């Protein structure tokens, strides 16, 4: 065989190898394309990214519906109790939910103000009494989760977390805890409640910081829509019954009612409405029960947030013009924040309120008995039947039983 022929055969073999290499490269490229684009059970990069984003969005939307809003700097702490609630949740916060909700957790929300606790040993002791008594009596059905919200400053949050870590160790029900930044909430509340503060604050010139004491008034505008009901509780309480029974009071609301609240058990508003009562001697404003309108006490409140959002009359009452008109009409000047506001609008719009039995907020303060109203005090203070929640207002000691 000659050299020219050998060279020709060698070149042919090289061309053949390159041809098959090229074919293999093309085939491999097609396989990759088919794998990511044409496979029946695969997804391309874009669709996978989209799915991940959707999954994260869904998770973030459901992971903590206890947050007051998406930007309140709320930091959730899950309890170390006997049973820990899942991070992901659905919107089921009502008692006796329908059959569609039977397989989902039902979240019962309770909120407490928890500010300046770090500087007050007395507040820390009150908090421990409240939480110990609540946990002692609390019983919940399968699938129910108690979510405790605390509006707090950072130093108080640290104190609260330490106390709760110990108290919740022996919890027999599922519980979740969230702390919410008081400064962030105050910024949200101030534009809503600024107009009413001059009528219902102490006049100390600290209206901005006082805005947080009107949280219940605008709770329906702060809480996410997923939370439909919440109870707001003072720290100076002692529970003598299952708190779940308090949530059941939502089912007793008459048509049109949006807030459940007990009557004030002292002649506070007999005094506050003195000018109006003098000008309207036949009015029942400030008179004791059962026939009078003694006003409300905000130590225990049930807020039907969904109903508050829908209520056109209530939201109109939040407007500065409405607040000013009613304050002028009733010659009203108070200093008790949300309690004063609810009392004033309750005089004119009683149908917005479901009146809780005094047993749910058995107030113990007797200050007004020794300050000019001893002759009528018992008409306001009387409460018949077993006590469900004691309220040690004005630093009154709570019975040990």
Task: Please give the structure tokens belonging to residue 335.
Answer: 């200093």
Cα–Cα distance for residue pair 285/287, rounded to 1 Å: 6
| For residue 46, pLDDT beyond 50 | no
Q: Give residue 289's pLDDT.
A: 96
Model confidence, pTM: 0.78
pLDDT of residue 147: 97
Residue 60 or 330, more confident: 330
Spans of all domains in the chain:
3-61, 65-395
Mean pLDDT, residues 150-169: 96
Poorest-confidence range of 46-50, 143-147, 206-210, 336-340?
46-50
Give mean pLDDT, residues 249-253.
98
Instruction: Specify burial of residue 209 (Cβ count, 10 A radius: 0-12, 13-18, 19+).
Output: middle
- Weakest-pLDDT range from 92-101, 192-201, 267-276: 92-101
Indicate if the pLDDT at residue 195 is higher than 90. Answer: no
DSSP state of 90: -
pLDDT digits (tens, 9 = 90+) for 336-363: 999 999 999 999 999 999 999 999 999 9
Predicted confidence (pLDDT) at residue 32 exceeds the cutoff of 60: no
Q: How many CA atoms lie within 13 A of 203 on its CB side?
A: 4
pLDDT band at 10, cuts 50/70/90? very low
Q: Are strands 389-391 and 362-363 parallel, antiparallel or unpaired?
A: parallel
Q: Which residue has the tokens 């029900």?
A: 173
**CA atoms of 10 and 153, how far apart (whole Å):** 85
Mean pLDDT of 365-393: 97
Which CATH number is associated with domain 65-395?
A: 3.90.550.10
Q: Residue 335: its pLDDT value, please?
A: 87
Which DSSP string do the residues of 220-264 spell out, in sequence order? HHHS-TT--EEEEE-SSEEE-S-THHHHGGGGGPPTT--EEEEEP
- Mean pLDDT to the nearest integer, 283-308: 97
Per-residue pLDDT of 92-116, as tens digits, reads 455 655 555 556 899 999 999 999 9
Query: Residue 158 to residues 62, 271, 390: CA-CA distances in angstroms?
Result: 26, 40, 27
């Amino acid at each position: 065989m000659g050299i020219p022929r050998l060279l020709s055969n060698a070149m042919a073999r090289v061309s053949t190898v390159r041809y098959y290499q090229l074919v293999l490269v093309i085939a491999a490229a097609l396989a990759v394309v088919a794998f990511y684009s044409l496979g029946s059970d695969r997804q391309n990069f874009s669709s996978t990214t989209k799915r991940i984003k959707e999954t994260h969005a869904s998770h973030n939307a459901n992971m903590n519906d206890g947050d007051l809003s998406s930007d309140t700097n709320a930091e959730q702490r899950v309890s170390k109790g006997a049973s820990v609630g899942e991070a992901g949740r659905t919107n089921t916060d009502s008692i006796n939910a329908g059959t569609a909700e039977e397989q989902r957790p039902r979240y019962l929300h309770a909120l407490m103000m928890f500010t300046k606790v770090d500087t007050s040993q007395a507040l820390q002791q009150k908090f421990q009494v409240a939480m110990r008594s609540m946990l002692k009596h609390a019983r919940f059905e399968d699938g129910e989760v108690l979510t405790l919200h605390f509006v707090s400053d950072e130093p108080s949050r640290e104190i609260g977390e330490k106390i709760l870590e110990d108290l919740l160790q022996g919890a027999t029900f599922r519980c979740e805890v969230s702390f919410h930044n008081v400064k962030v909430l105050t910024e949200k509340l101030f534009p809503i409640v600024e107009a009413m503060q001059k009528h219902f604050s102490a006049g100390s010139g600290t209206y901005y910081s006082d805005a947080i004491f009107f949280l219940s008034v605008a709770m329906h505008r702060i809480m996410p829509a997923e939370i439909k009901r919440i109870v707001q509780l003072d720290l100076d309480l002692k529970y003598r019954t299952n708190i779940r029974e308090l949530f059941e009071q939502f089912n007793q609301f008459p048509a049109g009612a949006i807030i459940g609240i007990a009557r004030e058990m002292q002649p506070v508003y007999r005094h506050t409405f003195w000018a109006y009562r003098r000008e309207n001697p036949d009015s029942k404003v400030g008179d004791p029960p059962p026939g009078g309108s003694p006003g409300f006490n905000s130590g225990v409140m049930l807020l039907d947030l969904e109903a508050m959002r829908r209520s056109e009359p209530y939201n109109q009452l939040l407007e500065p013009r409405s607040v000013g008109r009613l304050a002028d009409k009733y010659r009203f000047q108070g200093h008790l924040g949300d309690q004063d506001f609810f009392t004033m609008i309750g005089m004119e719009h009683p149908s917005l309120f479901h009146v809780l039995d005094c047993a749910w907020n058995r107030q113990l303060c007797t200050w007004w008995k020794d300050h000019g109203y001893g002759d009528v005090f018992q008409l306001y203070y009387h409460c018949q039947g077993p006590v469900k929640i004691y309220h040690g207002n004005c630093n009154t000691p709570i019975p040990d039983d």
